Homo-oligomer: A and B are copies of this chain.
Amino acid sequence: MVDEIEDPEKHSMEYISLTTHGGQFGSNPIKMNWGNKDPLERGPVIATVKHGGQRNAIGAHGGGYCIYTALAVAAGELNPSHIPNLNKTMPTDKLGPHPTWFNPKALVTIDPWGAMVTDVFSPYYNKGYDIRPTIAITKAHIDFPEVKDAMREGRVKPDGNILKPDGQTLVTKAAIEPVWYLPGVAERFGCTEQALRQALFKETNMMYPELLTRTDIKLFLPPIGGLTIYMWGDPQTIPDESIPLTVRVHDECNGSDVFGSDICTCRPYLAHAIEECIKEAQNGGCGIVIYYRKEGRSLGEVTKYLVYNMRKRAEGGDQASEYFNCTRNVAGITDTRFQAMMPDALHWLGVTKIDRFISMSDMKYDAIVNSGIKIVERVPIPPELIPKDAQVEIAAKVYVGYHGGEQYKVTEEDLKKVKGRGTDQY
């Protein structure tokens, strides 16, 4: 196998082609056998600029940060032929492999080997290939203010390991950049691969013609944010169904997660999940929070603020009955997060059963369960944690199908009665 690896091309890239075509002279992408059990048979993801025709992915590493890499080259500050020194960067914890890694339908937005590249693709490195990790795993000590409050209020007690007496809590964390297997993503969306490629190309005003010209290349590294997994307890226990597992799937909301805006429940729910993860880990189990970069339901923050203004200025006031209508009015759709892609992170971890799922979202629940993972208990946000102006969000969501459990019941009349802060108190 090793003898079959061709020497890496090292292009100076003086000649710039507007797009490449499969089968043309010089186009010889490293073979990609998605889902193959043997990583060397599976093949490395080659997405750096320097290996010319051997590149086997459309797009570039780093998500949208590839734009900044390009600026660095333009400014003369980054040598485009730099090869990363990955010495001593390997994961603090070896996660996987798991059976899902060998199911080409189970993981279609993550390269399962992404953290282990220097290890499993060493024959390529020895030949001089520049292969980048798309996953990095490290550890951290965390000062989370709400956890310290919880300690002070007696809801959680330090054990000296998961939670220290000074309120710090220890985690293992994994940062993941997206690697899309286009045939698999298309299947998740119920469309053909061609329709997916065409939509990606057209609706972005022609980003990456290779989406159309290189049907031989099945991988796409989209310029989007990735995800981060926070784990309390021992990650090696995750696949063991006899050991309890608490999970929250959290989609980014900068206004709340960082700044604490009271119009939504995002950070309080996250804080509650972290508290529950700490307790689960203290009980010998594992707690996981997965943080996805999907600001404003993947519509972005500008759309989000336009919607806030429309809500607040509505003739009847900020009514729960208009919550989703406003987004639909501005964006043409209420949600573009596409939870169907989300369970990949759980499958990458080897999760097969979640004991406590800290989320009310029916979309997240359905996506996880439909992907084959069992969920035992669904944990809504405790009512006392809902910020002042977030009743509208909760009422609107429970009414359309979010899991309210016993604490939340919303009728059609409630929907009109629940109102947010008026513009006079803006």
The B-contacting residues of A in range 243-288, CB under 8 angstroms, are 254-255, 257-263, 270
Q: Please tell me if A69 contacts chain B, counting CB pairs below 8 Å.
A: yes
Q: Which residues of B contact A66 (CB under 8 A)?
A: 203-205, 207
Whether B18 lies near A260 (C-beta < 8 A) is no
Contact of A78 with B by CB under 8 A: yes
CB of A33 within 8 A of chain B? no
Check A199/B74 contact, CB under 8 A, given A141-B421, A204-B66, A305-B138: yes
Asked whether A364 is an interface residue with its Cβ less than 8 Å from the other chain, the reply is: no
Q: Is the CB of A224 within 8 A of B68?
A: yes
Query: A260 contacts which chain B residues (CB < 8 A)?
Result: 142-145
Question: Per-position contact with B for A332-347: 1 when CB-CB < 8 Å, else 0?
Answer: 1100111000000000
Q: Which of B74, B331, B332, B337 contacts A191 (CB 8 A)?
A: B74
Give complex CA distance A291, B252 in Å: 15
Of the listed stretches A100-108, A295-303, A369-377, name the one at the interface; the rest are far from the partner chain: A295-303
What's the number of copies of this chain in the assembled complex? 2
Smallest CB separation, A227 vs chain B (Å): 9
Q: Contact between A205 and B175 (Cβ–Cβ < 8 Å)?
A: no
Contacts of A165-194 to chain B: CB distance below 8 A: 168, 173-177, 186, 189-191
A206 touches B136 (CB 8 A): no
A131 at the interface (CB under 8 A from B): no
B302 x A195 contact (CB < 8 A): no
Report yes or no: A305 in contact with B203, Cβ–Cβ below 8 A: no
Is A55's CB within 8 Å of the partner chain B? yes
Contact A60 B204 (CB under 8 A): yes
Kindly state whether residue A363 has any CB partner on chain B within 8 Å: no
| Known contacts A18-B19, A90-B309; is-contact A258 B261 (Cβ 8 Å) | no
* Interface status of A49 (Cβ within 8 A of chain B): yes
A330 at the interface (CB under 8 A from B): yes
Tell me the smallest distance from the CB of A235 to a CB of chain B, in Å.
14
Q: CB distance B140 to A261 under 8 Å? A: yes
Interface membership of A72, Cβ < 8 A: yes
Name A109-134 residues within 8 Å CB distance of B: 133-134
- B255-A140 in contact (CB<8A): yes
Q: Cβ of A133: which chain B residues have Cβ within 8 Å of it?
A: 302, 306
Q: Which of B64, B209, B332 contacts A84 (CB 8 A)?
A: B332
Chain B residues with Cβ below 8 Å from A175 are: 300-302, 304-305
- Known contacts: A190-B75, A199-B73. The answer to whether A49 contacts B92 by CB under 8 A is no
Instruction: Sample 21 A-B pairs with CB under 8 A, ordered by A number.
Output: A16-B212, A64-B64, A65-B336, A67-B223, A70-B201, A71-B338, A72-B333, A72-B338, A74-B189, A86-B330, A89-B307, A136-B305, A138-B312, A140-B259, A143-B262, A205-B208, A205-B210, A207-B223, A208-B208, A254-B291, A258-B270
Contacts A49-B205, A62-B303, A136-B305 given; 19 further ones with Cβ under 8 A? Answer: A16-B212, A17-B206, A18-B206, A49-B203, A66-B207, A67-B223, A68-B336, A70-B204, A71-B189, A72-B336, A73-B202, A86-B306, A88-B310, A89-B310, A135-B302, A175-B304, A177-B300, A206-B208, A226-B301
